[in-house]
Chain A
Amino acid sequence: MTDTHATASPWASPAQAAAGADQTDLRVAFTGKRGPLFWLAFKTGFFTILTVGIYRFWMKTRLRRWYWSAIRPGGHPLEYVGDPIEKLLGFFIAVVILTFYIGIVNLLLMFVSFSVFSASWVGYLASFAGVVPLWFYARYRARRYVLGRTRWRGVRFGLEKGAWGYAVRALWYWALTLLSLGILWPRMTFLLEKYRTDRTFFGSARLTQGGRWPMLYRATLPFVFSLLLLAGAALWVGWIDPVSAQTEAEEVIQFEDVIGMLEKGEFPGTLAAPERLLLFPLALAGLLFGAIYYTWVCKRIMAQHKFSDGIRFASALSGVRVAVIYVIGNFISYLALGIGLAALILGVVFLYWEAALFGDTSHVGQVWSDLPRWLTLLLLGILYLFVFLLWGVLHNTFITFPLMRHLARTTSLPEALGLDHISQRDRDNFAEAEGFAEALDLGAAI
């Protein structure tokens, strides 16, 4: 437990405020347990299915309340005060606006696509491109909503307006990133985070993102190394010392050929040191690790350079630990999912088999095919939704939970004297809540 201040009290020892000495170092505790979260996620997910998705606004609200209350800087929980009704309202508003945009624009794009290019892909591409700016816009608005509904010690957080500015910058930085073949990616990461952080408030205190973007390059090391490994392996195996021992005049051996030989029980003897091929999965796994590492270590580096008057942050987040959480969490989620699905399929097979004992199989098959099409679809739909539910619950329990916990426990405020000078800020009233993000399915999840 990093909750060093925990006395017998569930809240921080109040003596610190008076003494003032220890106040300078504020650690973040995480107090939730997996069990209650599992049931909360399961229950709310189940209601979501029962209500054809309407309850998801309540589900999101309740899960956030839970997570927020588990994160306790200085022993006091964050509080999420978002309202499900306002989320539902926001969704309706977003639907009203987006339905015209998406429907009409899609139709026109398809028309142009088929009239001018005689193909659909142009239309799909354009339709996708048209949604991208909205996507960034919605991301910023959603963040503004969540921060505006988050409190700590009774004081509100907040994010200033600026969603379109964010969308324009995001598009520009993305263009530069693509043009520079990814070399300017850290610049994009940093500047977008700076844009958001510099508009973030806690009460009357404005946060500032310090530091410079080249400092993020060290977070790219595992990714770059894996990329070099991949390139090196490709060069070695394909060019310098080809795996296929055939002369250059002959065709390069095909993957299918190798599989074919293995299936026939022949060892592909023509290969020279084929174990070198293992470098490829290694490099690909490295790339995945590198991507996770980059995302989270950037958060750590930038957290260490965030400050406000008399407040500083520190983070000891471990990129390796986060990657391990992802690996284990995904393994458990997919394993449970696979077992569940297999059990279900077995159940269906068993039902058929049992029926077959009493009558001829053709008759049983007929029962199935005689079901009205809509009923079959409905059953399959319900099945799909339950798989979806199970996966969501496990994802919450085994990925989001440990991530949040690690994030909370590795964060601290080495300097927090500035808190004494902070006062409340006004409520951020905006109608559509995170409706756009919800409607565009950004899956911002928590």
Chain B
Amino acid sequence: MSIGFNGLGAQFFDGDRPVGQEVSLHIASGMLQVGLDDGDLHRWPVSEVRRVPDMAGKPGAVLRVISDPLARLYIEDLGLLVHLPALTKRAPPKGRGRLLAWAVAAVGAVALQIGVLMPLLADNLAGYIPAKGERALGEATLGHIREALDETGLSPLKICDGSKGIAAMAQMSARLGAEQRFRQDVTVYVLDHDMINAFALPGGFVVLFRGLIEAANGPDEVAAVLAHEIGHVISRDPTRNALRSAGSIGVLGLLLGDFVGGAAVLFMAERLISAQYSQSAESGADAFAHDILAQAGISPGALANMFETMRTKNGDSSGVTAHFLSHPALAERIETARNAVDQSVDYTPSLSEPDWRALRGICS
């Protein structure tokens, strides 16, 4: 049995010439029969007819058949559609293996880039940046970090400048550096922020947060952190990190496209603060700290105390430090610091009581 449809207004394009042809439309024995004026008859199996999706505007439908990607049938009589069971059926997946391969390649390329190539390049190049360049790099990143951490949205995070506190801090770093010829001058800043953290930047910048000084039990713990960060400065760890980030930002911007603008910079700031150095870099800085603390006559055990202070005071909150403290090697590092203590030596506190008070008040 055959059903006829209104072919008036319908047009057929054969997929070769942009010239329409009038048609007569029938469905018989599972075939959509498209009859043309010149006598040609196209037979489209009803299960293979698809409707072109997302059409705008007036009623009417555009049909195609999966065996001929080019031919198009423009119809007006929508009564035809109910006889076509597979109008919206998707094409069987094709080339998915290739897609998957490139997806893996893309992820692999980014991973290789961020995980291997850039660290390698950064590590090798870091040693060649002159001191002046390192300084500029550090100043630039400090600016970014201060802006990123600012919560008022108005001005960069304040650098604490209590004059007595600064003098105390200078005294502390002088004592640590007295017998050690550092590769470059160390500049210590205290930022007015609650975070119990500290970080080093290229160019000899060591930054402590007010929160760290407030949390510390005594000046030696601050001195120990300072010594640790100076250790990073000496081995150029921050320079490597900053170079790496410069490359990573480009890649991230590429991946995330227009969804984030300043987020990449924010991310870099976050990364520099949390400074996920390698385990060997950390233990190197620890060893350095033990040495200069001992040379300055301050107990290396203070570093262990500081780690424990951070763990107890801050153990279960704030992301950055929590991550730092959950580092599996921390217990080991505490242990090593304790072992560096020479029981026969009579250690002296790094600051006198009034100076320590001054340091604690550096931000007020």
Contacts and interface: CB of A to CB of B under 8 A. Distances in A.
Interface of A: 7-12, 14, 17, 31-33, 36-37, 40, 53, 62, 65-67, 69-70, 72, 76-77, 79, 85, 88-89, 91-93, 95-96, 98-100, 102-108, 110-111, 114-120, 123, 127, 151-155, 202-203, 370, 372-374, 385, 388, 419-420, 422-424, 438-441, 443
The 9 nearest A-B residue pairs measured at CB: A31-B57, A9-B9, A10-B60, A32-B56, A107-B247, A154-B13, A70-B56, A153-B18, A114-B133
Contacts of A202: 18
Contacts of A106: 246-247, 249-250
A35 to B, nearest CB: 11
A31 B58 contact: yes
Contacts of B30: none
A370 B10 CA distance: 66
A279 B17 CA distance: 57
A14 B54 CA distance: 24
B117 interface: yes
With a 10 A CB-CB cut-off, give which of B109, B135, B317 has the most chain A CB atoms. Answer: B109
Interface stretch (B222-230, B254-262, B356-364): B254-262
B319 A10 contact: no
8 contacts: A11-B76, A96-B105, A103-B114, A104-B121, A154-B16, A203-B18, A439-B257, A443-B258
B308 interface: no
Given A11-B9, A423-B16, A443-B258, A79 B52 contact: yes
Contact of A419 (B18, B71, B250, B255): B18
Nearest to B70: A154
B319 to A, nearest CB: 5
Interface of B: 8-11, 13-20, 22, 52-60, 62, 70-72, 74, 76, 95-96, 98-99, 102-103, 105-106, 109-110, 113-114, 117-118, 121-122, 125, 128-130, 132-137, 140, 243-244, 246-251, 254-259, 317-320
Contact of A37 (B11, B20, B56, B129): B56
A110 B99 contact: no
Given A9-B9, A10-B60, A107-B243, A65 B54 contact: yes
Contacts of A110: 243, 246-247
Contacts of B256: 53
With a 10 A CB-CB cut-off, give which of A72, A76, A443 has the most chain B CB atoms. Answer: A76
Contacts, number: 217
Contact of B251 (A10, A14, A31, A103): A103
B244 to A, nearest CB: 7
Nearest to B134: A114
B129 A104 contact: no
Given A95-B255, A107-B118, A424 B136 contact: no
Given A62-B53, A107-B246, 6 more contacts: A65-B53, A89-B95, A93-B106, A100-B117, A203-B18, A443-B258
A202 B320 CA distance: 59
B118 A424 contact: no
B57 A111 contact: no
A50 to B, nearest CB: 13
Contacts of A439: 254, 257
Contacts of A93: 102, 106
B113 A153 contact: no
A40 B54 contact: yes
